[in-house]
Amino acid sequence: MKVLSIQSAVAYGHVGNSAAVFPLQRIGVEVLPVYTVNFSNHTGYGAWRGPLISPADVSDVLTGVEERGAFPDIDVVLSGYQGGEGIADVILDAVSRVKAANPDAIYACDPVMGNAKSGCFVAPAIPILLRERVVPAADLITPNQFELGFLTGTEPADLQSTLASADAARAMGPSTVLVTSVERPDRPEGTIEMLAVTDAGAWIVRTPKIPMKANGSGDVTAALFTAHFRETGDAASALAKTTSSVFDLLQTTFDAGARELQLIEAQEAYAHPRMQFEVTQVR
């Protein structure tokens, strides 16, 4: 499998491509990373250095990859956080060109906007751009519950409303929706869930909620689920593997008392997931 991953990069820590590339490689996926920023660290520190790469330069890199004859072999185009408005056009153009070269390729979009605690943390134009242009072009999206609500103009809370919101998102274009960080009021205290919805059904998995903020964990989740699902077409299996891997990554990071993901230390969790959580079909 080959994944063209258009995301940010940081030297210190693991977010964007700096979070997604190694886990994909560790499960045997060839990754072509294209960077949208090249920062010293993620912006959560409040200070960082390095350039935001212009859309024209990102497009130039993609054209160079295309000129090497790579596009017919691309199975997935993956995108995450979009720092500026211009990058969306570049990503959508790349998706169009890849799909022209390989009609079986899919576009997986992590529509990063924010979360329930902090609200939106992207430029005001980005959520609207994602909702109106980017998500409708995607085959698979991986929003959290907050982002799902914004995309669909709904308020997902319990299981049924979250399923309805996922269906509304699927009606926009994507056939597959992975809802991360599902926090329904009737779940056991200290737990969190993920929900996958496809044409074939819907599946949910519950894990303990590790009490930490882990920048980049969503990028790892989107990358692993996309790769597993693209390989097998089995959403339940992809959900089980991804949940196992990401939970053990977070547990390793928490046990180390680290702020940044212990991405290398947890590598066996990607290569050989323990499959310790039960996936339940809910539809």
217-228 CB burial, b ≥16 within 10 A, e <16: bbbbbbbbbbbb
Identify whether the C-beta of residue 76 lies closer than 8 Å to the C-beta of residue 105: yes
Q: What is the DSSP letter of 273?
A: -
The overall average pLDDT reported for the chain is: 96
SS3 category, 111: coil
* 127-142 mean pLDDT: 95
- Predicted pLDDT at 122: 77
Q: Give residue limits of the domains in the chain.
A: 2-281
- Predicted pLDDT at 118: 66
- Amino acid in the structure at residue 40: S
Q: For 150-187, how does the pLDDT look when each residue is reduced to its tens digit (9 = 90+)?
A: 999 999 999 999 999 999 999 999 999 999 999 999 99
Residues 6+ apart with CB under 8 A from 264: 22
- Predicted pLDDT at 53: 94
- Predicted pLDDT at 123: 75
* 233-249 mean pLDDT: 98
Model confidence at 115: pLDDT above 80 = no
Model confidence at 116: pLDDT above 70 = no
Q: For 203-240, how does the pLDDT look when each residue is reduced to its tens digit (9 = 90+)?
A: 999 999 999 989 999 999 999 999 999 999 999 999 99
Superfamily classification of domain 2-281: Ribokinase (3.40.1190.20)
Query: φ and ψ at 222, to 5 degrees?
Result: -60, -45
Structure tokens given for 35? 């960077």
* 115-141 mean pLDDT: 86
pLDDT confidence bin for 124, thresholds 50/70/90: confident
Q: For 177-204, how does the pLDDT look when each residue is reduced to its tens digit (9 = 90+)?
A: 999 999 999 999 999 999 999 999 999 9
Q: What's the pTM value of the predicted model, to 2 decimals?
A: 0.97
Work out the number of other CB atoms within 10 angstroms of the CB of residue 197. Answer: 25
SS3 category, 139: coil
